[in-house]
Amino acid sequence: MNLVEITPDNHDITLNIAYATTDNFTGAPVYRRSGCYLHKKAEKCLKKASGYAKKLGYRFKIYDAFRPTEAQWVLWNHTPDPMFLADPRRGSPHSRGVAVDLTLIDETGKDLEMGTGFDTFHPKSHHGNVNVSPEAQRNRHLLMGIMTLSGWDFYQNEWWHYQLFNSQDYPLLSDSVLLDGLMPLNTKT
């Protein structure tokens, strides 16, 4: 398996895996447990980014990373919006283990102001949107600078989403690649 588990201890990050809770756009847990995994190449880029953030006095809070194809179908069936969700027939970079949804937090653990919350499906979530506060614009640019310097590409419509370049080159992965899967045991694609 090419997926590496991302933990607070081994990556100096905070986890808030939204799809393991009701605090996501579906209003219900999608995953049966919280877990964070990335392809080994993406994990190396995350470690590099975490180092840059730490030098500036920040850390990452991760909302999602590897998302099994089964979960992508659950999200798509709930809200089939191609501006914010990849059609599972085409596949998501998340379902390839090469995407991460995250924000920056300060030394107290407080989220930096980004203008919208995670998974806010609205044009205000787009990179470069000037209808958010100057502070939020600066923080988004700071996050983008750290991530792009570390080898990540960004998705124009979501300030929180970063993926490896050429993400389509990686295979789609189902929940079965994990010894202890994320999905409820009765979930099917």
Q: Who's near 156: CB < 8 A, 6+ residues apart?
A: 126, 127, 128
State what percent of residues in the chain have pLDDT above 90: 96
Calculate the alpha carbon distances from 123 to 3, 51, 154, 158 in Å: 32, 31, 16, 9
pTM: 0.96
* Known catalytic residue at 158: yes
Pick the catalytic residue from 43, 107, 113, 158: 158
pLDDT of 182: 98
**Residues 131-154: tens digit of each pLDDT:** 999 999 999 999 999 999 999 999
Average pLDDT on 93-116 reads 98
pLDDT of 1: 65
CATH of 3-177, one of 3.20.20.70, 3.40.1190.20, 3.40.50.2000, 3.30.1380.10: 3.30.1380.10
Q: Who's near 61: CB < 8 A, 6+ residues apart?
A: 13, 14, 15, 16, 102, 103, 104, 105, 111
CA 52 to chain centre: 18
- Domains in the chain: boundaries: 3-177
What ranges in the chain are assigned the alpha helix state H? 8-11, 40-55, 69-78, 134-149
**Residues 37-68: tens digit of each pLDDT:** 999 999 999 999 999 999 999 999 999 999 99
pLDDT of 185: 80
pLDDT of 189: 46
